[in-house]
Chains A and B, each alone.
Chain A
């Protein structure tokens, strides 16, 4: 496996010393995110998220399948994350790294297990036909904080996605193309968003230095990390802390509170981006939309 590049002693000491003074190389505050840039593709459910140099693409696709025997009312939702050398030369195809496992596990826990997506709403005909949703995440560039970026990308893509309208009459199932009927958004119960804290030593007062939205350099130097998933109502969906430096309960509470606050901001940002996209999508295109109105003659 290609090795991560060696970080020089000078960089290491500098970054750690500077963090104690609340100073970061990119001029940010230790508790602030980089600018989150969201852009949408032509299709519904296609999102490109950028956090500084980190870039993740998410794409949602849907197909109709037969449901599992033991869960006849539920559709399925899978998240596929695969990191290739495009993101960073240290990732290899077919050889998942630790980060790979952590990331897919965390997304699974944060989004699927917290029932962000109502799977029963994906049912078309009980025990016969259900929607199967699939989120494909593509990691284009890695400059730290892939977990949070991937989570934001998945949630935004799900919120952006539209399912074609299906009508059932007796045995017949008709899937209406988007030109015929306006597709419907998914029923998302809440938006869980991951916030990852990186711990890099202690400052003069003996307090843990916890950094938000770490860059790749800071990630390489950190002693431990913790991911908290919160939704905008301040409900903690999941806390994951696997290994690394021990964290006091007090710090954990502080982190959780900070995460809740950050998530509110991110939530707002996603909502604004989605609304802006809706406006631009329908501009000058209203005829196309009217065509799909339900009161029109078929």
Chain B
């Protein structure tokens, strides 16, 4: 990833690039609806400075989508630590349950995040965990796949939500008959036939196994980004690993990756591939870690 050609933006920089998007262009035909610029992560409205109404609060590069209907702007960066932003899928660890919420650990050494029971939806009918009967009885240390719902600097804790049955506790969910949706569980399969068939057959066969031996790997932010982009950035590594060992994974943006395979030995292989790739910082390579990824996979899993 080379950032040479791109301009690095620092927090508080004025963003003249945004002004054409904010004002109506005279040469363009009038839109039926007033256009609004959508602000992504890293940008905030600053009413106290009218000359620069939008200010960045992170470093990175400016990402603009000059779509006529829905222009968006965000700051792209891969910081060392995870900063929660709304709608991020995350994997959290349960610390304790209180009268109204689950206290969970989003990242180590930070104040716990919360999942209020009314934000914990347990089935498709929209039943929440607010009632004592419907509340899932989760042990301390359970892993929950959730979504960041509220992040506010004046709020003490980050608020998370479990928006449906695709989310929720990850291990127990595997044994239920409802197969997790393809969006959530990324299935890589060894045989080309089942890979072509998509997640349905392969995922079901793995998900219905009685025995699960999942591991939760902690990864760096660039690595997480790579694993999340399974079809583009992560493809070289993921396909190399999947050609040796079929596995399943769930990636949380907070740098947690849930990994499962047929046996513990295979899980260890996948975990080692990812870990060594991450520790070698191969994601920083010019070829996106293609060569080094293959080399690591070859060493760990055998030729």
A residues with a Cβ closer than 8 A to B are 2-3, 5-12, 14, 17-18, 21, 23-27, 89-90
B residues with a Cβ closer than 8 A to A are 93, 95, 105, 108-109, 139-143, 170-171, 213-216, 258, 264-265, 267-268, 271-272, 275, 300
Residues of B within 8 A of A25 (CB): 215, 268, 271-272, 275
| Contact A9 B213, CB 8 Å, known A14-B267, A25-B271 | no
Task: Kindly identify which residue among A5, A9, A21, A26 contacts B105, using a CB–CB cutoff of 8 Å.
Answer: A5
Residues of B within 8 A of A23 (CB): 264-265, 268
Please state if A8 and B268 are interface contacts (CB–CB under 8 Å): no
Bound Cα distance from A23 to B263, whole angstroms: 12
Residues of B within 8 A of A8 (CB): 93, 141-143, 216
> 22 A-B Cβ contacts within 8 A?
A5-B105, A5-B108, A6-B93, A6-B108, A6-B140, A7-B141, A9-B139, A9-B171, A10-B143, A10-B214, A10-B215, A10-B258, A14-B213, A14-B264, A21-B265, A25-B268, A25-B271, A25-B272, A25-B275, A26-B275, A27-B272, A89-B108
Q: Is the interface of A mostly helix, strand, loop or mixed?
A: loop
Shortest Cβ distance from A26 into B: residue: B272
Residues of A within 8 A of B258 (CB): 10
Bound Cα distance from A225 to B108, whole angstroms: 25
Task: Kindly identify which residue among B139, B141, B267, B300 contacts A6, using a CB–CB cutoff of 8 Å.
Answer: B141
| Contact A9 B95, CB 8 Å, known A2-B109, A23-B265, A89-B109 | no
Bound Cα distance from A276 to B244, whole angstroms: 40
Q: How far does the Cβ of B69 sit from chain A's closest Cβ, in whole Å? A: 42
Please state if A17 and B213 are interface contacts (CB–CB under 8 Å): yes
Task: Kindly identify which residue among A3, A9, A14, A17 contacts B141, using a CB–CB cutoff of 8 Å.
Answer: A9
Please state if B141 and A12 are interface contacts (CB–CB under 8 Å): yes
Bound Cα distance from A3 to B213, whole angstroms: 27
Residues of A within 8 A of B108 (CB): 5-6, 89
Q: A8-B142, A11-B215 are in contact. List 19 more A-B contacts (CB 8 A).
A: A2-B109, A5-B105, A5-B108, A6-B95, A6-B141, A7-B141, A9-B140, A9-B171, A10-B171, A14-B267, A17-B264, A18-B264, A18-B268, A23-B264, A24-B268, A25-B271, A26-B272, A27-B268, A89-B109
Shortest Cβ distance from B112 into A: residue: A6
Q: Which of B139, B171, B300 has the most CB of A within 10 A?
A: B171
